[in-house]
Amino acid sequence: MTVATAPGKLVIFGDYAVLEGAPAVATSVDVRAHAQVDVTDGRNSVFIDLAGGKAYDFFVEPGAELVWTTESPGDRGTIVAAVLDTCHELAHLRGPLPALRISLNTRAFFTRSNGRTEKLGLGSSAAVLVALTGALIDALHIPVEPDSLIRICHEAHRRFQGGLGSGIDVATAVLGGVIGVRRDAASEYPVSESLAWPDGLLMSAVWSGSSASTPELLTRFNAYRDNHADEFRNHLLHLGRFAEQADAAWRDGRVAKLLSALTGYDNALRALDYDAEIGINTEVHESLRGMTEKHGAVYKTSGAGGGDFGIVLTNSQDVLEEVAAEIDSAGFRLLDAKLNAAGLSIAPDAGRP
């Protein structure tokens, strides 16, 4: 038996612009997805979706094609299939797979809001995919170097999402901490590196109260790029300029310069959203922005926007506490989870030789 966990993430800057080559930075969040893989003596394998409370039998045909023997478990099943298929191809699995018992748990990524269960926009799909990849590789004794592991995770996630996304959530789930990512035309996968957190920078995340569909938002972003090429290019030039400024300030530890660049980035992203009608900046985010800026802090959406989380950034503890108090009194809540959390963690069965 092998158990693996991987963290969620919050994007600090580079949202959307990273898809066109700009730098992006994210931090891991200690909201963790869990995966467990057992090698069993049975003939068929079973996948247990702990969040949904159901079990699904499957087998893997020669060539690593996964076949569900009853109903398909939907997105979670697609993740299992993508990981098995990618490991077969890139980790060079040999021979037939043994029967497996796979269980996934992403309960920590959900919350109750206004009487409904809402998914927190912290990258649960990437986190559980990374956890499953790590658990599977360990359970099957596959020798994989760290660079190969992140490549396998990127490819599996690409297959799961149909090529959408920047890969920053995957890199953050694997590596943990603060991660810088840039898409390089010369590289098939995003280039990622670990970064230090700037001294004096303070950040909190605010739950907007509703979840958003990242694929839907990315589809609108891509449609604007395809149908309004000149306007799209101008918006991305502005976003890219502020992303470069933020990236340089982050690496140099210049917090005041960083906060200024993040303000510019947020304004440029809102301008893109206004013209493209993507749905990034909702009325709730606008309200939270007003509460934040009144106290002299910076507010921006995190990641795809449209709901999910916004982030508050400042270099003053007093200001952060003032913003937190106002946000709390307005009925919103701050994320109660550690930032800069550890990345993929694999715990093999202690009794295994």
Helix, strand or coil for residue 124?
Answer: helix
**pLDDT attached to residue 187:** 78
**pLDDT attached to residue 64:** 63
| End-to-end Cα distance, the chain | 12
Backbone angles phi, psi at 9, to 5 degrees: -150, 160
Domain ranges of the chain: 2-195+340-348, 202-334
**pLDDT attached to residue 352:** 42
Rounded-to-integer distance, Cα 272 and Cα 84, Å: 38
- Secondary structure letter of residue 280 according to DSSP: -
Helix, strand or coil for residue 38?
Answer: strand
> Contact 325/204 with Cβ under 8 angstroms?
no
Rounded-to-integer distance, Cα 163 and Cα 198, Å: 32
Task: Output the CA–CA distances (angstroms, integers) from residue 283 to 159, 176, 208, 288, 289, in the order listed.
Answer: 34, 32, 10, 9, 10
> Contact 55/64 with Cβ under 8 angstroms?
no
Per CATH, which fold does 202-334 belong to? Alpha-Beta Plaits (3.30.70)
Rounded-to-integer distance, Cα 346 and Cα 134, Å: 7
Backbone angles phi, psi at 115, to 5 degrees: 80, 5
**pLDDT attached to residue 118:** 85
Per-residue model confidence as pLDDT tens for the chain (353 residues): 899 999 999 999 999 999 999 999 999 999 999 999 999 988 889 999 887 788 999 988 766 688 999 888 888 899 999 999 998 888 777 667 889 999 999 999 988 777 788 889 999 999 999 999 999 999 999 889 988 999 999 999 999 988 777 899 999 999 999 999 998 877 788 899 999 999 999 999 999 988 888 889 999 999 999 999 999 999 999 999 999 999 999 999 999 999 999 999 999 999 999 999 999 999 999 999 999 999 999 999 999 999 899 999 999 999 999 999 999 999 999 999 999 999 999 997 634 43
How many Å separate Cα 113 from the centre of its chain? 21
**pLDDT attached to residue 82:** 93
Looking at the domain that runs over 2-195+340-348, which CATH code has it been given? 3.30.230.10
